[in-house]
Structure 1
Amino acid sequence: MPLPSPRRRAVVSLARPLLALCSASLLFAATSPDPRPWTRWWWPGSAVDRAGITQQLEAFAQAGLGGVEITPIYGAQHAEDRYLPYLSPAWMEALAHTTREAARLGMQVDMATGTGWPFGAPWVDPAGGSQKLVQVDGHLTGAPTQMQVKRAAPGGEGLVLDPYAASALQRYLTPFDEAFRHIDPSGIRAQFHDSFEYYGAEWTPGLAAAFRAAHGYELDDHAAELLTENPPAAGSPAADALGRLKADYRTTLGELHLDYLQAWADWSHDHGWLVRNQSHGAPANLLDLYGAVDIPETETFGSTLFPIPGLRRSPDEIRSGQDLPEPLMMKMASSAAHVMGRPLTSSETCTWLREHWKTTLAMAKPEIDRLFVNGINHVLYHGTVYSPPDAAWPGWLFYASTQFNPNNPWWQDFAALNAYVTRVQTVLQSGQPDNEVLLYWPYADVVDDPSGLIKQLGVHHVDWLTHSPFGAAARELAQAGFACDYVSDAQLEASRPTANGDLQTPGQTYRLLVVPAARRMPLATLRYIISMVRQGTHVVMLALPDDVPGLGHLPARRAEFAGLLDELRSLATDTSLHLTLGSPDERRNPLIAVAAHRGLRRETMAAVGLEYIRRRTDDGFAYFITNLTGESFNAWLPLGAPATTVRRTDPLDGMAGAAPTRIDAAGKTSVRLQLASGQSVLLHATSPDPTTPALAAWPILEPAGPAQPIPGSWSIRFRRGGPVLPPSVGSTALGSWTELPDPENQRFAGTARYTIEFDAPVAPPGTTDWLLNLGDVRESARVQLNGQLIGTAWSLPFQLRLDSALRAGRNVLEIDVTNLAANRIRDLDRRGIDWRIMHEINFVNIRYRPFDASDWPLTPSGLLGPVTLTPLRPE
C-alpha cells in the first residue's frame, strides 16, 4: 500500500465540551441533583391520560423515586384509539401535565429526544438517514442502511438518523422546536440519548472532506484496501498499513459523531435542558463522548456471578453466553464525569438482571453496589411501563426485564431498596471524587486493527478494554488500593500541571499520571507528556510506545517520534524531575512503588476483597464500602484517609454511630468493621473540633450463645395479591406456601402475614441485643415485633437487630412476606390466558424467544426459615 501525502494531525477540540461544562454548571445550580433513584418510564403507544399519569407518578413518589425518563415505544393491542401521535398537541399536553404533576410531587422529568431508539423519525429522509459504506465506480460513497427506529411509538416511526452529520441532526430537531413553542419547557430536566445502536452506519456525506482535512490524504485512494474481504496476513507490513488506514477512518468517524453529540448538547442547553447520554456502543473515543455531556450514563446488562451465600443465579434465569457487567467499563462514564467536572454519572440499571418475574430486590442490591463503587451516583432503573388503571394484571409490559412496576408483588417493599439507594447517593452526590491516579487510555491502539470496518465499543464483548495493557494497569491499581480515573488524549491536553507536581484536569486534581504500555501514541500526546514532566508533574510510563498511529507521512512523524522517545529517556535520568520509565526487562513493575512513594492514599481493604469508593468532603472523607465476597469481614480496617473520628452509617436503615477507631504510630487510622457477605456501609472519616458533640458509639457485637429457634405454631394469613387470596392456615413448620393443600397457593403472588407468639428465650450473661435471622426468605419481609416496626428485610443476609423490641415474657412476631409474580404468570400461561398484548416484539424471554412460563416449576414462596434468635453481647 503506497503512503499517502503528508498528513495533518486530526484534532479533537475540547473547546465546545469545556463551554458545555460551564453552561452545565449553571443548569445544575438551577436543578440541583436529587439523591433518590429514578426509573425509565416507557409510554406504550403514548396512550397516556391525565388520570393514569397522576396515579403512576403518585405511586412512584410514594415508593421513593425521584424522577422519570419518558421514552415512548410501540403500543398495546386493542388500545389504538388511545394512542397519542408523538409531538402532537395532545402528546405535548400529556408531557406538560407530567411535568406539572412531577413538580407537585417533588420529582423531576427527563425525556428521550425521540421514540424508541436511536434517533430517527418520519421526517428523516434518505439523505439525512444513516448510511453504509459502498464503492461505486471505484469511489467510496454511502448507501442508505434503511434502518428504521427500533420500538418506535406512533408518530416516531421512520428512518434512523445519520449519527455523524450535525446538519442532519439540526433538521431532525426542528419539529421539537415547533412542538415546545406551545408548552413550558422548564419542566424538563434533561434530554436523553440511548446507547449507540445505529447499526451499519459507516458513512456520512461529509466523511471524505473531513478525512482529507484531518489526515492529509484521500480516503478514496484506498477504497479497495478499506473494503477488502481478503485482509493481509496478520503481522505483515500490509496488515500494519491496513490497520493504520482503518485507524484514520475510524478516528474521523468518531470525531464526526462527537460533533453530532455536541450539536445535540448545544441545542438542549439553548432550551435550558441538561443532556444525558449513553456513549457506549459508539465507534469513537468513549471518554471524549462521555465527557462532552452533562450526565454521562453507563448501563448494566445481565447478572454478575457474586459469591454471596443465598444469592440465587439459576442457569435458566440468566442470559448464558453474555458478557458479565464489567467494572472497568462502568468507570469509563464516571472517569469522564470526574475528569470533566460533571457532578452526576448515571446508569441504566438492572437490564435483564434475571428472567421476567424471577428478579428479586436482593438480586438488585449487589449489582447497584458494584455501580456505586465504580463512581455511579445516579441510578435509573430499567424500567417501568405506563399501564392504565383499567388494564388487567399484569398490565402493559416492556419486553426486557426488570419489571420495576406497581403490578410487581414486591413493589410494596421497593421503597426499602429506594431508601437504601437514596442514602448512598446522598453521600456520593456530595463532596468531590478522591481518585488520585489518572490513567491514560491509548485509544489509538483500539482503532488500529486491520480486521473489520467500524469498531463499536459497547458494554458487551469488552476484550478491547479488559485484554489490554490498559486494563491490566487499571486492575493492578485497583487491587493495590489506589483509586484512578481514565483520561483521553484530548482531555489530557486540556489539563494543566500545578506547582506541586499534580495535574489539574477541567474537573479534578490528580497526583500521578500513569501511562500504560501502548503500541501507538499521537505525537501531540507524547509532546504533552514531555511538557508536563518538564513542569514537574509526576508521571509513570510503564513502557514507551512503539510508534505513531495512522498512515500519513510516516517517515517524518516517525523521525519526530524517535526524537521524543530519546528526550523521554533523557528526562528519566534527571533526578530533579519525576518521570519513571518501566521496561519489559524489569522484574518488578514500578507503578505501585511510585504510587506509594508519592504518598497517595492507599486502601488496603482492596486486598481482602472489599470494594469501595472514597470522596472528599468539607471536613474529611466519605466512604461507601461493600462486601461482595463470599465471606464475612470482622477485623480492624486501615483507612487511607486521615481521621480521628469515623462515623458509621448503615445505609439499609440510616442508623449511625461512632465506629471504634485507633491510630498507629505512623498516624494511620483504622476502624473496627463488621460486614457480612452482601452487606455495605457508609463511613465519614473526619477530625472534628474538640467541642463537637460526641456520637454514640457503634457497638461491636458477638454471639453470646447459639442461635435459638422460635418455638410455637405459625399462623399464615394472605393479606394482598392475587388472583385470589388463599385461605388462612396454621403450621408448626415453615416451608414454601406452594406446598400447602389449597391449590390457590400455587398461583398466588402477593403478601402473607406470618404470626407467632412466643416466650422470650433466656438471655445469656452479657446479652445486650438479639439478632433475628429469618433464614431463607422468598423474597422480602416486613417485620414487626410487639407492634413495633423493626424493618424490612429485602437484602442478604435477611437479618435484623431487635434492640429493645424483644421483651421478657410473651412476644408477638409478625412477618409480612412477599413473593415473586412467577407462579401467577405460570398459572396464566397454563390456563391459556392472553396477557401478552403488546405490538411489535410483544413479549420475549431472556433469550429473546417467545415467552412461555407454562412449564416453569413452581417457585418457592414465603418464609422458608429457619427463623432464629441469636443473643449478642459487646465484643
Structure 2
Amino acid sequence: MLYFFVVLLSIGWLFSCAKEESTAGLKQVFQNPPDSARPGVYWYFMDGNLSRIEMTKDLESMKEAGITNLIFLEVGIGVPRGSVDFMSEEWQELYVHAVREAERLGIKILLGAGPGWCGSGGPWVKPEESMKHLVYSELEIKGGKTVDVLLPIPKQRSTVWHTMKDPYYEDVAVYAVPASAVPVIEDINEKALYERDPYTSKPNVKPYLPSLANYEELDEDRVLAQSEIVDVTKFLQADGKLVWDAPLGNWTIIRMGKRGTGASTRPSPEPVIGLESNKMDTAAFRNHLRNFTDILLAKTAPRKEGVGWTGFHIDSWESGAQNCTDGIIEEFKQRRGYDPEPYLLAYTGRAMGSVEITERFLWDLRQTCKELVLENHVEFAKAYAHENGLELTIEPYDMNPAGDIDLGAIADVIMAEFWSDGFGFDASYAVLQATSIAHIKGDPVVGAEVFTSQPTQAWQLLPGNMKNQSDWALAHGINRFVYHTFAHKPLGDEHRPGMTMGRYGVHWDRGQTWWPMVGAYHEYISRCSHMMQQGQVISDILYLTPEGAPMVFTPPADAITENGTIPDKKGYSFDACSPKILMERTRVENGKIAFENATSYELLVLPNFETMTPELLEKVISLVEQGANVVGIPPQKSPSLVNYPACDEEVQKLAKKLWGTYEIPDELSKKEMGKGAMYWGGKLKTDELYPSYKVTAELLAQLNIDEDFKSDNNSIRFGHRKTNEQDIYFVANRTNEFQKTACTFRAVGEPELWIGTTGKTRKIPNYTVENGVTTIPLEFFPYESFFVTFSGGENKADENNNTSNFPSFAEVKTIEGAWDVAFNPKFGGPENIRFDELLDWTTHEMREIKYYSGIATYRKIFELETLSEKQYYIDLGEVNDIARVILNGEDLGVIWCAPWRINISAALKQGVNELEIEVANRWVNRLLGDQQEPDANVRTVKFENGLMGGKEYKTGRYTFTTKQSMEAFRFAEPLSSGLLGPVRILEM
C-alpha cells in the first residue's frame, strides 16, 4: 500500500507539471510562474566543510533569489578537509537539518546516488560487489612435454580515470590456443567493454561502434577454430600453477578471471573513498543503498510531501565500462539464446571462427551488458526511488556503455549538461539527447546542469553575458535550469567570495557581488521555462540511432548551425530515437510517426548501417505499412549471432519486401508499401551516418511540409511547442546586434508577443498569412528574446495594416551632471563620493574605486516639468554589469540585459524626482587588486572551528577564497565597471 501511495504521489507531481493551461490561465501564470518552472542549483559541499548556520543561510538566499530545487552533493576537490566526516553522526544530522529547512522554505532536494559527483559506491562496497571485468593473462609455452608453469594473475584493466586498486580476483577458465592465433580484432578494448572514455572531453572517442555486413577474411592460422581451443582449466592448481601434458607445438596459455575494474567514487570526500558498486548486480547496488540512503531515509522520516527531500539523482556516468558480473553466462544464454563460453576468447581480440562471427558475439556481449545495466541498476534505482516517495533524475552521459538514450529514458526527469561557452567542453550533444528523450516520451520537464565551467571562468560570468546561451538552451527545450554550482558557504559572509568547488563552476551562490539582483534573471528563466513546458514540442525529423551499445546520438553536421558549443537547429527541428524505444512505443497517426501523448514526426531517417536485426526491420516495415515516410537503405545482415545464419536470410527477405532491390538508385526513389513509403537513392545516398540535413529538408519540401520557422537574415533561433489552444514559439536573437527581420511561422491564429523579461503581453497587429504560414516583421535588441503565440485557429490578417509591431520611444530628458555615489567600505570603496560625470570605475584615480567589486549606489535628483498620460521609461545606456532602479523610494526592478531600460511610470512625478541606481560589477577587480601591493597578503585567516583544515592562510586585504579557484586567475587589468550611461528618460 505504501509503495502504491508514493508512486501515485510521484506520478501526480509529474502530471501536475504536464497538464496544459488555458490561454488566459497561462497568461496569468506567465506573470508569476510556478515553482515547477523555477531554476535550481547544484549545492556542493566540500569534504567536511559544513556549517549548520550557514546551510540555513544558503537555503534562505536560494529561496529569496527564486531557486526552488537543488541537487545535494559532497566532493573532495581542491579544498582542505573540514571536520565533519561524510556519513558521520554529525554529518547525518546536518543532512536532516537541510531537509527540514528545505521543507520550511518550500525547496526540493535531490540527493546524489553516492558520494562524489558521479556513481554509486563507497568504502562499504566490497571488492566482490564492485564493477567487474573479465580479464586475462597470456604465457607462451612449447608443447610436446609436461609443462609446470606459474600462470600470471591477470592485471586489473583500469583506465586512467580509475584511481582505486584492489586485490579481488576469481578464476573463470584457462585455455591453450595455437600461438599463431594472435589478437586481430580492432578496438577490442572498446568492443569488449574494457573501457569507455568520456566522449565529451577525450578526443577520438567513437559515438558508436560500427557493425559491418562484411569483414576482412584472414588466413586460417590467424583464426581460431573451436577444435583448436583446449580447455585446460582443470589443470590449474590452487597456487596458480598449470601442470599439463601439452601436445607438440607452440601454445599460448590464456588465464581468464573476474577482477574489479577499480572504478572508484570520484571525486569523493576522503572518508568515503571506495569502490563503485557493480552496475549489473541489483544486490550489490542494494547493499550500497543500505549503507547510504536507507540510513538517511530513516533519519529524515517523516518527510513533508512535495518539498524537502523529493528526489534521487544519478549524475553524469563517469565510472566507465564493465563487461562481466556474477551469473553473466546464464544471463547471456537466457537473453541471446546461445552459450557464450565457446566465444570467451573474443575478449582477448582473437578471431573465433571468423572476424565476422567474433564481431557478432561482441555485439551480443555489449547488448547483454547494456540490458543488465538498464534493468539491474537504473530500473532498480527508479523502483527504489518510487518505493520511498522520490523521483529519479538522470544525466545519462558521458562514459555510458549502455547507450545514452535508453538509459536516460528510464528517468522520471531527464537531465543534460552544458558547459559555459568558451569555458569548458562542448556537451551540446547531451542537450540534443536529453531533449529528444523528453520529446519522444512526452515528458514536460527537461532539466540540465547548466553553465558548468573550467577554472578560466574566474568570476567573469553573470546573467547578462549568459543570456545568449540561456536562450540557446531554452530554444532546444531545456526548461529546468540547475546551475553549476552553488558551493556551500561555511566561511560566512565576512569571507567573500568564499569557498568554491575547487577550480570549477560558475559561482552561482550568495557570495557573488550581484546575488541580490539575480532574482530578475531567475524570473526570466522561470517564465520561459514554464512556457517551454506547455503542450508538446513540434519537430519534423526523427533520426533513428543504430542498434547496439555504446551509443551517442550526433545529427548530420549541417542540421545545426556552426556556432561552437551553442549550435542552433534550423527550420526543420529534429529529435533522436533508439531502436528499443522505436520498437516499444511508436505507431503511425495521420501519416506521422507518433508516440503516445508525445511528439509526432513527419519523417523517420534510418542510420546508414549495413546491418539491422530482423525484429527492428519488421517494425520499420510495419510503420511504413501504417503510413510513415521513411528514409534509409536496405540492410544486408543482422549484427547479431542470435539465430545465425537464419537471421541474415530473414533480414534479406524483409529488405527485399520493403525496398525491392539492394541496388541503390541513382535518382531519388520512392517505394510505396501500404499507406506509406520508403525514400532512398539520389542525393540521399551518403557515406555518413545520415543523409545531409539539406537533402532531407528538400525531401520534406517535396512532401509539401514547410519549414517550421525561418527569419530572412537567419539570425534568429527558435523553439516551438503546441497546446490544444496555442502554438507557442520562443524566438531569440543570437547576435550582439540589433536585428530587424521578417520571421515566418508554420502556424495561424491571432499572434501575440509575450515578453519573458517583464511578463507583459500584447497583440501583434502587423502580419500576413498565406497557405498556413504567418509572416511577422519583428525587431530584436542584442540577444533579445520573446514568445510569439498563435491562438484562436485560422485568422485573416489585415493586409493594409502597416502599424508597427514595436513601440517607438522619444527622448524626454537626458540626466546629466554630477552623481553622488556610495560604495561599500567593507570592500575598500569610499562610503560617499561625487562623480562630476558618469565614468568607468577602472579609470578612476583612486585604487579603492579602480579595484572595487560589489554594489555601488548612484543618487541623483532630477526634475520633469510636464507629465502626460504616456508610458515613461528610464534607459541606462551602458551598464557594467547589472542594475536596480529605485525612483522616489519605489523599487522598480532590476535591469540585466538589453534593452537596458525599465518602465518608471508608476513612480515618476511631475517636478522633483529622487533617483537611485544600484550597480553591481564582478569580483575580478577586487581579487586583482588584492593580489597587488599594498593589499596583497596583508591578512591571516584561520578557522578555529576546523573549517579549511584549521590552517592559517595569507590573503588580500578585502577578499578571501579558496586556493584552487585562484590558480587560473590571470587578469592584468580590471574589467569595465559602473554606470556609464547616458541615462535618459523616454516616453512611449
Same fold flag (TM > 0.5): yes
Structure 1 position 620 matched with structure 2 position 723: no
Say yes or no: does 1:867 pair with 2:987: no
Inter-CA distance 62–433: structure 2 relative to 1 (3 Å threshold): same
Q: How many Å separate the matches in 2 of 1:607 and 1:202?
A: 51
Q: Given the alignment of the two structures, is residue 147 of structure 1 paired with residue 263 of structure 2, yes or no?
A: yes
Match in the other structure for 1:60: 62
CA distance in 2, matches of 1:761, 1:219: 90
Matched, 1:25 2:11: yes
Give the equivalent residue in structure 2 for 1:44: 46
CA distance in 2, matches of 1:295, 1:490: 19
| Structure 1 residue aligned with 2:386 | 269
Q: Secondary structure at the match of 1:604?
A: strand
Measure, in 2, the Cα distance between the counterparts of 1:109 and 1:192.
10
Q: Does 1:634 align with 2:732?
A: no
CA distance in 2 between partners of 1:156 and 1:744 (Å): 45
Partner of 1:589, secondary structure, is helix
Query: Is the Cα contact below 8 Å between 2:321 and 2:401 reproduced in 1?
Result: no
Residues 63 and 223 of structure 1: CA distance in aligned 2, closer, same or farther (over 3 Å): same
Q: In structure 1, how many angstroms separate the alpha carbons of the residues matched to 2:63 and 2:414?
A: 25
Note if 1:792 corresponds to 2:894. yes
Whether contact under 8 Å (1:350, 1:381) holds in the other structure is: yes
Contact 2:730 2:788 (C-alpha < 8 Å) held by counterparts: yes
Q: CA deviation at 1:418?
A: 0.8
Specify the alignment match of 1:415 in structure 2. Answer: 519
Q: Which moved more, 1:399-408 or 1:500-509?
A: 500-509
Partner of residue 625, structure 2: 534
Mapped partners of 2:64, 2:506: distance in 1: 20
Letter in 1 for 2:431: M
1:330 maps to 2:447: no
Paired letter, 2:782: S
Deviates more, 1:114-123 or 1:435-444: 435-444
Q: 1:28-70 CA distances to partner (integer Å, 9 max, x unpaired)? A: 3589961110111123345545433322211111111112221
Amino acid in the other structure paired with 1:669 = T
Distance 1:478 1:407 in 2: 33
| Secondary structure at 1:851 match in 2 | helix
Q: Supply the AA of the counterpart residue of 1:658.
A: K
1:189 aligned to 280, 294, 310, which one? 310
Shift of 1:242: 6.0
* Bigger mean CA offset, 783-792 vs 72-81: 72-81
Shift of 1:278: 0.7
Q: CA deviation at 1:335?
A: 1.5
Shift of 1:552: 5.2
Name the SS of the counterpart of 1:482 in structure 2. coil
Query: Is structure 2 residue 395 aligned with structure 1 residue 278?
Result: yes
Q: Cα 1:864–1:51, aligned 2, differ >3 Å: closer, same or farther?
A: closer
Residue 689 (structure 2) pairs with residue 578 (structure 1):
no
Equivalent of residue 783 in structure 2, options 678, 686, 708: 678
Contact 1:772 1:867 in 2 (8 A): no
Residue identity opposite 1:523 in structure 2: P
Identify the match of residue 295 of structure 1 among 410, 413, 424.
413
Task: For residues 67-87 of structure 1, give each alpha carbon's deviation from its aligned partner in whole angstroms, at most 9, with x where no partner exists.
Answer: 222112349978744x1541x
Shift of 1:273: 0.7
Question: Tell me, what secondary structure is at the counterpart of 1:521?
Answer: coil
Deviations 1:773-815 (A, max 9, x none): 5444322111235555443222245344656867777655432
Q: Distance in 2 between matches of 1:727 and 1:849?
A: 32
Shift of 1:346: 0.6
User: SS state of the match for residue 701, structure 1?
Assistant: coil
Percentage of pairs with the same residue? 22
Equivalent residue letter for 2:613? P
Tell me the CA shift for residue 94 of structure 1. 3.0
* Cα distance between partner residues in 1 of 2:472 and 2:355: 40
Structure 2 counterpart of 1:347:
448
Q: Does the C-alpha gap of structure 1 residues 165 and 828 become closer, same or farther in structure 2, counting only changes over 3 Å?
A: farther
* 1:428 aligns with one of 532, 540, 550: 532
1:589 aligns with 2:695: yes
Q: Could you say which residue in structure 2 is the equivalent of 1:508? A: 598
* Structure 2 residue runs without a partner (length 5+): 19-34, 137-153, 155-173, 175-253, 662-669, 686-693, 796-802, 954-962
Matched AA of 1:651: G
Which SS does the other structure have where 1:430 is aligned? Answer: coil
Cross-structure match for 1:648: 753
Tell me which residue corresponds to 1:823.
925
2:111 is equivalent to residue 111 of structure 1 = yes
Task: Work out whether residues 656 and 698 of structure 1, in 8 Å CA contact, stay in contact via their aligned partners in 2.
Answer: no
CA contact (8 A) 2:44 2:75 kept: yes
Tell me, yes or no, if the aligned pair for 1:21 and 1:341 is still in contact at 8 Å.
no
Contact in 2 for aligned 1:602/1:640 (Cα 8 Å)? yes
Q: CA deviation at 1:671?
A: 3.5
Q: Give the Cα separation in 1 of the matches to 2:712 and 2:439.
A: 21
CA RMSD of superposed structures (Å):
4.0
Question: Given the superposition, is the C-alpha separation of residues 621 and 118 from structure 1 closer, same or farther in structure 2, using an over 3 Å criterion?
Answer: same
Kindly state the Cα deviation for residue 380 of structure 1 after the two structures are TM-superposed: 0.7
Residue type of the partner of 1:577?
Answer: K
Is 1:205 matched with 2:326? yes
Q: Work out the CA distance in 1 between the residues paired with 2:356 and 2:864.
A: 77
User: Aligned partners of 1:704 and 1:529: how far apart in 2?
Assistant: 61
Instruction: Note the C-alpha offset of 1:184.
Output: 1.9
Shift of the alpha carbon at 1:336? 1.1
Distance of aligned partners of 1:793 and 1:100 in 2 relative to their CA distance in 1, 3 Å threshold: same
Superposition map of 1:729-808 within 5 A: 729-757=833-861, 772-785=874-887, 787-800=889-902
One-letter code of the match for 1:123? W
Is the 1:133–1:203 Cα contact (8 Å) retained in structure 2? yes
* Offset, 1:269: 0.8
1:497 aligns with 2:587: yes
Larger Cα-atom Rg: 2
1:96 is aligned to: 96
Deviation at 1:222, TM superposition (A): 4.7
CA separation in 2, counterparts of 1:565 and 1:250?
25
- Give the Cα separation in 2 of the matches to 1:607 and 1:567: 45
Query: Contact 1:709/1:866 (CA < 8 Å) preserved in 2?
Result: no
TM-score, structure 2 length as denominator? 0.72
User: How many residues of Structure 1 are paired with residues of Structure 2 in the alignment?
Assistant: 796
Alignment partner, residue 217 of structure 2: none
**1:385–1:405 contact (8 Å) kept in structure 2:** yes
CA contact (8 A) 1:712 1:757 kept: no
1:25 alignment partner AA = I
Single out whichever of 650-659 and 153-162 deviates more from structure 2.
153-162
* Residue pair 1:479, 1:606 contacting (<8 A) in 2 also: no
Structure 1 residues 437 and 200: CA distance shift in structure 2, 3 A: closer
| 1:398 alignment partner, SS class | coil
Contact map agreement 1:582 1:589 (CA 8 A) in 2: no
Confirm or deny: 8 A CA contact 2:417 2:430 kept in the other structure. Answer: no
The answer as to whether partners of 1:542 and 1:591 remain within 8 angstroms in 2 is no
SS at match of 1:149: coil
Counterpart of 1:173? 289
Structure 2 CA distance for aligned equivalents of residues 379 and 80 of structure 1: 30
Contact 1:747–1:824 (Cα < 8 Å) also in 2: yes
Question: C-alpha separation between the residues in 2 aligned to 1:58 and 1:627?
Answer: 35
Contact 2:861/2:913 (8 A) holds in 1: yes
Deviation at 1:857, TM superposition (A): 1.8
Does the 8 Å contact 2:851/2:974 carry over to 1?
no
**Which secondary structure state, in structure 2, belongs to the residue aligned with residue 557 of structure 1?**
helix
